Structure 1
Amino acid sequence: MKRHDWAYGLSTDEGPNKRVNEDRCFLRIERNQEGDQDVLAVIADGMGGYGAGDYASQFAIEQVRLWWDLRYTALIQAPNPRSAFDEEIAVLFAQINASLCRVRTTQCKLPGTTLSVLIVHRSRFYVYHTGDSRIYQLSSQGMLSKHQHLFHLQQLTKDHSWVGQEVAAGRLARTEMNGHPMRHVLTHCLGINQDLEIYRDCGDIRHDDMFLLCTDGFYSIFRDDELVELIQCHQSQYDSLQDISDQLVASACKRDAMDNVSVVIMQAREQVVGRSRRSFWRNLIKN
């Protein structure tokens, strides 16, 4: 018997123009009682300088990890997991935001961070997000070759940024976002003020679908079509998603990325059943 397990890669770099990496990534995979794999993938991009940015992103990641460890079993046993995820994530984001805002008040620091969370449960995905990091779904449209998929790219998150607002309003073309002087101005994130907005999405997962979580230091380098071509090119050269994520980050750095560059990439792949139940995690922090 076969099931769909998740392959993954996580890569981060401070980039050629930064001395401190304020990005943080985290991924955990759990084997549930039905034998399927559930996934928690998180990416955060800190800001604030003078140690505040990396503190904020690390704090946010750690709080999500602790919540998952404490609540995972109960959540997947809930009659309506989506409602349970929605309710608890809303509380979690609010708690993280309040904690970071208190640091801002008491320590005169400016610890802000984006936070994008992807949860995979059974054949569904759930997205929770604030800021301008992104989560993409790459849906397989067939095979270009034996090892190379043809993908359709869809952004699952909403850019909480000034340029994102302008694109949504039709006043700015999507192709103009990456080079715009206002591209770094956020409208929502954690730790800046109490006005918190959480973007949510959910949907179905098919075999061979891929998910990409990344910070703006990565996606601002590439057009959407370039990103798909780059992934397809690396997929034809490498079987390991860790190698592919490493190459994606390296490609952004070679283009003189102006910010930290981070990528989490994961794909559903068929595996033969027969292994014991397991839980494992990957947490990548690079200073």
Structure 2
Amino acid sequence: MIYSIHSDTGKVRSHNEDSVLFHERSGWFLTVVADGMGGHQAGDVASRMACNRMLDQFKSAADALDTETIEEWLRKTVDRINSDLFTYQQEHLDCRGMGTTLTAAVGRGEDVYYINVGDSRLYLLTGNAVTQITKDQSLVGELVRQGELTEAEAEVHPRRNVLLQALGTEMDVSGEIGSIRWRPEDTLLLCTDGLTNKLADSLIMEIVHNETSLEDAGERLIASANDKGGEDNITAALVRFHNQDGGAL
């Protein structure tokens, strides 16, 4: 695999409450994005804790992971992280009310498994299509799925930032778990809403396909979101299927 990770404060916020990581171990890769929430930088604490806990659990489990157990591992890991964050915010007054989204992908070969809590997203970009894999666990996302809002209406809805699920805010959490298959030349994009609130899917695809490297693509995605206002933190993780002969596909 080849990858590129980027996170930017944006043009309005005073600090960055997003977190992102990529790690490879025992033939598996893990990539995670998290978008924290809560005052006095508590969102930063939440997103960093979620990513760090996910990475620690992955390092401990990677040698034993297989395709039969990976989805259950994702579920249990996110449940554990949620419990840790909920306990932490209950015990630290300055972090009361903190929480975070989390979108994670774990892959080996042609198989990619994912879990999503909140409204950060996983996309699959192929030669001629961009597909949003995860479903936004947000109020407007649910209203769109029920046919009560159009996508255009959701983009400007006054409650578009209301989440139905987040890590650390409640004792229990229900993440969306699934799997996809990808092929050489395909690209995964995990990103926070600071990117997707500014860039249409078609523009995301155009940028990723037109740039000569994932690093350049990531930098241009961030720059493009900032050019359109940059009111939120902006985070993107790009992972591309890499052939075993050493060429970047």
TM-score (ref. length: structure 1) = 0.81
Shift of 1:271: 4.3
In structure 2, the residue matched to 1:272 is 245
Distance in 2, matches of 1:176 and 1:127, equals 28
1:66 counterpart = 2:53? no
**Letter matched to residue 252 of structure 1:** A
Q: Secondary structure at the match of 1:189?
A: coil
Shift of 1:210: 0.6
Match of 1:255 among 228, 231, 242: 228
Report what 2:126 is aligned to.
139
Distance 1:10 1:107 in 2: 30
Give the aligned partner of residue 14 of structure 1.
Answer: 9
Q: Which residue of 79, 84, 106 corresponds with 2:69?
A: 84
Unaligned runs of 5+ in 1: 1-5, 33-37, 76-80, 141-150, 274-287
2:115 aligned with 1:128, yes or no? yes
- Correspondent of 1:232 among 201, 205, 209: 209
What's the secondary structure of 1:272's corresponding residue?
Answer: coil
Structure ID, larger Rg: 1
Aligned-partner Cα distance in 2 for 1:30–1:103: 29
Deviation at 1:31, TM superposition (A): 5.6
In the alignment, does 2:21 pair up with 1:26? Answer: yes
Count of aligned pairs? 244
Residue identity over aligned pairs, in percent, reads: 31
Find 2:33's aligned residue among 39, 43, 51.
43
CA displacement, residues 24-53 of structure 1 (integer Å, 9 cap, x when unaligned): 000012363xxxxx3111100000121210
CA-to-aligned-CA distance 1:94-127 (integer Å, 9 cap, x gap): 1111121112322232220001110111211101
Structure 2 gaps of 5+ residues are none
Q: 1: distance between equivalents of 2:151 and 2:67?
A: 31
Q: Which runs of 4+ in 1 moved over 6 A?
A: none
SS, match of residue 83 in structure 1: coil
Distance of 1:263 and 1:240 partners within structure 2: 14
| Contact in 2 for aligned 1:10/1:246 (Cα 8 Å) | no
Q: Contact 1:43–1:116 at 8 Å: present in 2 too? A: yes
Task: Measure the CA separation in 2 of the matches of 1:89 and 1:231.
Answer: 28
**CA RMSD across the alignment:** 1.4
Amino acid in structure 1 at the alignment position of 2:12: N
